[in-house]
Amino acid sequence: MKKFAVACLMLGALLFAPTANAATSWDMATPYPEQNFHTQNILMFAKEIEQETGGQYKIKVHSNASLLKMPDIKRGVQTGQAALGEILLSAYGNEDPFFQLDGIPFVSTGYDTAKVVWDKTKQFIDARFKKQGMTVLYAVSWPGQGIYTKTPMASVADFKGLKFRTYNPATARLAELMGSVPTTIQAAEVPQAFATGVVSAMITSAITGVDSQSWDFAKYFYDVGALNNKNLVFINAKVFDALDKKTKDIILAASARAEKRGWEMSAKAHEASLKTLAEKGMKVEKPNEKFYGELQAIGEKMIQEWLDKAGPDGKAFWESYRKK
């Protein structure tokens, strides 16, 4: 009987004692389909971490909002439902002006200015995420965006009364100032929303247009190129802080590579997507001078509204950015 008890204790020790070889698996919630360049970049990021930690840490990437819908991802990582997450930062613009900034038209007008915006706002975004129990790993810009419509548009007045698909507070405000009706629709739901008449116009990237096969529901893509939203990748701070220095360094190095690679992938995906839209029969063109000028005026109004609520940090950023 005594030998049996000892054997049971030994078995229990084997079953429950932590081992040096036990692998840790993390869930990562992402909002876009697997073929999207953001997701492809994340898959490479996850593979690098697994390889460089000798299989000790594995990241299971849940694409296309299959684990958490995009509005829930930030909170999900904060509360430990997922260890890592990816979000469109500007979708959380109601939480903080700095989350909204890159969703405002004409703050940046291309990758060069978008990178300056990120470099100058990273410290403010880092600080806010740290207060909420998360650690920022890297950010990747979307290309400049364009407006999708079913019919030709010559001015902002042509959008009056249209149901306009929005995905963050900034695009909702843009729709209001254009005289449209803002209608929040997640990327995965865009085709159905157009098919059922829930929306009839939207502003988004050429890449999302390809992901959603926009040629099935829209005929025109006006390449405004004035919105460079960022996707942010981050990790639960408790998870990250519990790691040894070597593992932290591996993750941070992989993050730096993913950021550099992601911006390059974004530019290539944009050019390929513009070509695909045209090949599928869509009219891809720049807005006329009048239309573009009206959009610029709306952007200037939105920037001033942002400055009015962004406080000293916002003023410091804007003064520094304008000098740059």
The reply to whether 238 and 110 lie within a common domain is yes
Q: How confident is the model at residue 285 (pLDDT cuts 50, 70, 90)?
A: very high
The reply to whether 215 and 307 lie within a common domain is yes
Q: How far apart are CA 284 and CA 209, in angstroms?
A: 12
pLDDT digits (tens, 9 = 90+) for 240-278: 999 999 999 999 999 999 999 999 999 999 999 999 999
Kindly state whether residue 18 falls inside one of the protein's structural domains.
Answer: no
Mean predicted confidence (pLDDT) in 223-245: 96
Check which CATH number belongs to the domain holding 127 and give it.
Answer: 3.40.190.170
The reply to whether 216 and 311 lie within a common domain is yes
Residue range(s) defining the domain that contains residue 317: 146-226+284-323
Please tell me the predicted confidence (pLDDT) of residue 240: 98
The reply to whether 74 and 177 lie within a common domain is no
Please tell me the predicted confidence (pLDDT) of residue 21: 58
The reply to whether 199 and 255 lie within a common domain is no
Please tell me the predicted confidence (pLDDT) of residue 17: 39
Average pLDDT, the chain: 92
**Edge to edge, what strands does the sheet with 84-88 contain?**
57-62, 24-29, 84-88, 230-236, 134-141
Please tell me the predicted confidence (pLDDT) of residue 302: 96
The reply to whether 211 and 288 lie within a common domain is yes
Q: For the chain, how many structural domains are there in total?
A: 2
CA count, 13 A, side-chain hemisphere, 141: 28
Please tell me the predicted confidence (pLDDT) of residue 188: 83
What number of other Cβ atoms are within 10 A of residue 261's Cβ? 17
The reply to whether 177 and 317 lie within a common domain is yes
Q: Which residue has the higher pLDDT, 86 or 8?
A: 86
Please tell me the predicted confidence (pLDDT) of residue 209: 95
Structure token pair of residue 299: 């952007």
Mean predicted confidence (pLDDT) in 291-316: 95
Give the predicted TM-score (pTM) of the model: 0.84
Kindly state whether residue 2 falls inside one of the protein's structural domains.
Answer: no
The reply to whether 213 and 151 lie within a common domain is yes
pLDDT digits (tens, 9 = 90+) for 96-108: 999 999 889 999 9
Mean predicted confidence (pLDDT) in 154-175: 95
Checking if the pLDDT of 156 tops 60, the result is yes
Mean predicted confidence (pLDDT) in 293-321: 95
Mean predicted confidence (pLDDT) in 173-185: 97
Please tell me the predicted confidence (pLDDT) of residue 265: 98
The reply to whether 39 and 156 lie within a common domain is no
The reply to whether 270 and 240 lie within a common domain is yes
The reply to whether 163 and 222 lie within a common domain is yes
Amino acid at 189: E
Checking if the pLDDT of 292 tops 50, the result is yes
Q: How confident is the model at residue 323 (pLDDT cuts 50, 70, 90)?
A: confident
Could you tell me which residues are beta bridge partners of residue 161?
none
Checking if the pLDDT of 284 tops 70, the result is yes
Q: What are the CA-CA distances from residue 88 to residues 16, 51, 259, 275 (Å)?
A: 40, 28, 15, 24
Mean predicted confidence (pLDDT) in 23-34: 95
Residue 26, Cβ density class (10 Å: 0-12 exposed, 13-18 middle, ≥19 buried)? middle
Please tell me the predicted confidence (pLDDT) of residue 186: 86
Checking if the pLDDT of 201 tops 60, the result is yes
Mean predicted confidence (pLDDT) in 178-199: 94
